[in-house]
Amino acid sequence: MPTFKILISDPLSKEGVDILRKNKDFYVEEVEKLKEDQLVAKIKDFDALIVRSGTVATKKIIDAGVNLKVIGRAGVGLDNVDLEAASKKGIVVMNTPTGNTISTAEHAFTLMMSLARSIPLADKSVKDGKWDRKKFMGVELYGKVLGIVGLGRIGSEFAKRAQSFGMKVMAYDPFLTQEKAKSLNVEPVDLPTLYENADFITIHTPLTEETKHLIGEEAFKRMKKGVRIINAARGGIIDEAALAKYIASGKVAGAALDVYESKATPPVDSPVYGMESVITTPHLGASTEEAQLNVSIDIAECVQDALLGKGYRNAANMPFIPEESLALMKPYILLAERMGSFQTQLIEEPIKEVKVKYAGDISNLDVSVITRALMKGIFEPILVEHVNYINSVFIAKERGISVTEKKTTEVMDFANLICVEFVTEKKEYLIMGTLFGNKEPRIVMIDEFYVEAIPGGVILVISNNDIPGIVGKIGTIIGKAEVNIAGINLGRNKKKKLAISLLNLDSELPKEVIKKLSAIEGVTSVKQVKI
């Protein structure tokens, strides 16, 4: 009698299904195109659900899964799984973040080659009975400068292929260290430098509030005349209206897109739809036989291991923690993740090393999970990869970032303390956090400043010279912007005559208000952090 029942609700490659069917502990059932109510009625008897992009694992379905322990997504994205609902029920959600790396990198590179030689237009011309060779004069990749925005797994694979074609590769990635750049033989640069020098630009970042329209009006103004753009990452990173404008002006020679701002399929409402200089494909990054096979095998093995108690790979939510430790560790996990997210939004240069020190009673816990939460917080705001508690440390290793842990039972200023040093090429940054009342997270030190800041929501971080009147001017400007200050915390270094202000806000400040705050005499830095 099988111990576990597995429901596969979207087509999965035979090789992946066979892995599960061969295990005598599993009963496997394959269904297709069930409506939500049908899946709600069926899921109650199953221990695991495997989906692709066709099934949407809604809260209603998850709540109906009374025996559900695992949800596996054969693919990278988890947009079709209600992660919060699953986490609340203690259901492990896993995906396959590496299965389509090569497929996506190759497709993006194919788009670049097609763009360089106008392959789609030339093909159509010949099929229309024409032989217009002059019209399709192309450019060579050899000797050209390639700019890669986002040097994760896919970006790194793209770089290797470009170098084999004799291209010079420069890359922008906020977490790219000198050592990692050297190992890949790429030149690390800032975005303005990349825009100003690249002949081809390829994008491999996530779509976040920070990266939405990253390639927009200001970016296009900086670019070389004749630049070509490739996007096989996420729609919305490129401002397509601005792209259409600069293609029409001749500033941009062309673009190749696999993803779009438009939700329509095909994207008929996109400003670039139908433009001769724009190559369009229907989101084919992962559409290869090998990628589909890889994700099927990967998710089958992940689900198998999870059900048999062999561990969770590629878990998108909380890894297994013994029940007796969970209540104690949860507040520390939350604190560490928020500390990481807070600090990574303040640091502008690549992080080279992260040193974590646990002091007090917390050192008696299994702090590895807390360190993973810290790293998740560091990477999540900006990386294209889906970052979770399992893979965050491995992502750090891939990026060439050293992560070290140290424990001490010595009681410092607080009964329990998490101290984190962030080392970059230029300097070291320090942040300390603790729990008030054993459950309320607080940041208690930022560099040389003692504070008692709540790490949550929108936080305005202002550095300034310690002179009278600055706090009043800050409050006046924010008040005129009709944004409420929920809390304010001040730190001072009297010897250096420096100060820091942390303001918890009810909502974000517009960019023009940030500029006004930055213009206050004595203010040296204004940054808005969202946690």
Query: How far, in Å, CA of 339 to CA of 333, rounded?
Result: 10
Highest mean pLDDT among 108-117, 203-212, 285-294: 108-117
Report the pLDDT averaged over residues 437-452. Answer: 90
Going from the C-alpha of 217 to that of each of 239, 244, 284, 306, the distances in angstroms are 8, 11, 27, 47
> With pLDDT > 70 as the criterion, what percentage of the chain qualifies?
97
Confidence of residue 318 (pLDDT cuts 50, 70, 90): low
pLDDT attached to residue 384: 59
Residue 282 lies in a domain: no
Q: Do 141 and 206 fall into the same domain?
A: yes
Give 365: exposed, middle or buried? Use CB within 10 Å, 0-12, 13-18, 19+: middle
Report the pLDDT averaged over residues 54-66. Answer: 94
Query: How far, in Å, CA of 56 to CA of 463, rounded?
Result: 46
Q: Both tokens of residue 116? A: 């360089």
Q: Do 419 and 301 fall into the same domain?
A: no
Confidence of residue 143 (pLDDT cuts 50, 70, 90): very high
Confidence of residue 18 (pLDDT cuts 50, 70, 90): very high
Confidence of residue 380 (pLDDT cuts 50, 70, 90): confident
Angle at which helix 101-117 crosses helix 119-127, to 10 degrees, equals 60
Q: Do 125 and 55 fall into the same domain?
A: no
> With pLDDT > 90 as the criterion, what percentage of the chain qualifies?
75
Torsion of CA 464, 466, 467, 468, to 10 degrees: 100
Residue 284 lies in a domain: no
Which residue has better confidence, 268 or 363?
A: 268
- Which residues are CB-neighbours of 167 under 8 A, at least 6 positions away? 141, 142, 143, 144, 145, 146, 200
Q: Do 174 and 249 fall into the same domain?
A: yes
Q: Both tokens of residue 57? A: 């694992």
pLDDT (tens digit, 9 = 90+) per residue, 81-93?
A: 998 888 777 788 9
Q: Could you give the count of Cα atoms lying within 13 Å of 469 in the half-sphere of its Cβ?
A: 3
- Which residues are CB-neighbours of 164 under 8 A, at least 6 positions away? none
Which residue has better confidence, 155 or 312?
A: 155
12 neighbors 50 (Cβ within 8 angstroms): yes
Q: Do 468 and 449 fall into the same domain?
A: yes
Residue 75 lies in a domain: yes
Q: Do 259 and 163 fall into the same domain?
A: yes
Query: How far, in Å, CA of 90 to CA of 330, rounded?
Result: 13
Q: Do 89 and 109 fall into the same domain?
A: no
Residue 303 lies in a domain: yes
Report the pLDDT averaged over residues 59-81. Answer: 91
pLDDT (tens digit, 9 = 90+) per residue, 465-480?
A: 999 999 999 999 999 9
Residue 286 DSSP SS3 = coil
165 pLDDT above the threshold of 80: yes
Q: Do 335 and 466 fall into the same domain?
A: yes
pLDDT attached to residue 255: 98
pLDDT (tens digit, 9 = 90+) per residue, 424-442?
A: 988 999 999 999 877 899 9
Residue 263 lies in a domain: yes
Lowest mean pLDDT among 45-54, 305-314, 366-375, 383-392: 383-392
Q: What is the CATH number of the domain that holds 141?
A: 3.40.50.720
Q: Do 136 and 54 fall into the same domain?
A: no
Residue 85 lies in a domain: yes
Report the DSSP beta bridge partners of residue 351.
Answer: 424
Confidence of residue 2 (pLDDT cuts 50, 70, 90): confident
Read off the DSSP letter of residue 426.
S
- Which residues are CB-neighbours of 158 under 8 A, at least 6 positions away? 105, 108, 109, 148, 202, 204
Amino acid (one-letter) located at 306: A
Q: What is the CATH number of the domain that holds 484?
A: 3.30.1330.90
Query: How far, in Å, CA of 451 to CA of 275, rounded?
Result: 55
Residue 143 lies in a domain: yes
pLDDT attached to residue 319: 58
Q: Do 25 and 73 fall into the same domain?
A: yes
Residue 312 lies in a domain: no
55 neighbors 76 (Cβ within 8 angstroms): no
Which residue has better confidence, 391 or 99?
A: 99
4 pLDDT above the threshold of 60: yes
pLDDT attached to residue 54: 86
What's the domain range around 491?
323-530
Query: How far, in Å, CA of 362 to CA of 322, rounded?
Result: 16
Q: Do 409 and 504 fall into the same domain?
A: yes
339 neighbors 433 (Cβ within 8 angstroms): yes
Q: Do 361 and 509 fall into the same domain?
A: yes
Q: Which long-range contacts (CB under 8 A, 24 or more apart) does 259-266 make?
A: 259/231, 259/232, 259/233, 259/234, 259/235, 259/283, 259/285, 260/235, 261/235, 261/236, 262/235
Lowest mean pLDDT among 36-50, 134-148, 375-389: 375-389
What is the pTM (predicted TM-score) of this model?
Answer: 0.73
305 neighbors 313 (Cβ within 8 angstroms): yes
Q: Count of domains in the chain?
A: 3
pLDDT (tens digit, 9 = 90+) per residue, 460-513?
A: 999 999 999 999 999 999 999 999 999 999 999 988 999 999 999 999 999 999
Going from the C-alpha of 457 to that of each of 433, 453, 485, 487, the distances in angstroms are 17, 12, 12, 11
Confidence of residue 352 (pLDDT cuts 50, 70, 90): very high
Residue 6 DSSP SS3 = strand
Q: Report residue 93: phi and psi, to 5°.
A: -110, 125
